[in-house]
Structure 1
Amino acid sequence: MNYSTYVGLDVHKDSISVAIAKVGREEAENLGNIINKPEAIAKLVRRLRKPVEKLLFCYEVGPCGYVIYWQLKTMGVNCLVVAPSLIPQRPGERIKTDRRDARKLARFYAAAN
């Protein structure tokens, strides 16, 4: 399935960093942080969803598990949960930040499809 927008999430217990990569654009864009609550995630989906756009969310598996995955699937949104070790690292990309991680996920999946 072809998607027009890829959404990378860097998930933590209390917050989620969000970035999007649109097909045809060079770089992913940071959208900021939201609180890690079902209402905030639902609001994000409503904000990003448009009748003609197909969204794909992705986040790295971690202590928060699959709660977000099941919420997104229930809302009719496709989502991938990936192992952090499967996301390629660029040489010299050792500094980790939430924004950078979210952007990297969105960019990687947009480039792969």
Structure 2
Amino acid sequence: MKSCLIVDDSKVIRKVARHILETLQFTVDEATDGTEALEYCAAAAPDVILLDWNMPVMSGMDFLRAYRAAEKSNAKIIFCTTENGIGHIQAAISAGADEYVMKPFDRETLEAKLQIVGCM
């Protein structure tokens, strides 16, 4: 069974994403910011990370840069955010994101992104 770490400061987004991912047969863990996510990733190796852009403590971009610089950094990363400017998308991909999905998202959209990154 594939695993996913949801990194988002919104409890509602984490709940919705968890429900979708569990129906897609993923085991799911959650973190509320980039710092928690880095600590989690140091101890475990998720297959995919669903990552919010704007979070307190450590942003999604800061997490992404730190994670990709780490030795164990082979999870697929899907940025999940309301930031929809082409500059944001290019910055995320350049920093090491594998895909990008806009909030709000539905099961079909998330499933398609997971297929694109090879996690389905």
User: TM exceeds 0.5?
Assistant: no
By percentage of residues, which structure has more helix?
2
Larger proportion of strand: 1
Q: Which protein, 1 or 2, shows the higher relative CO under an 8 Å CA cutoff with sep ≥ 6?
A: 1
Could you state the TM-score of these two structures normalised by the residue count of structure 1? 0.45
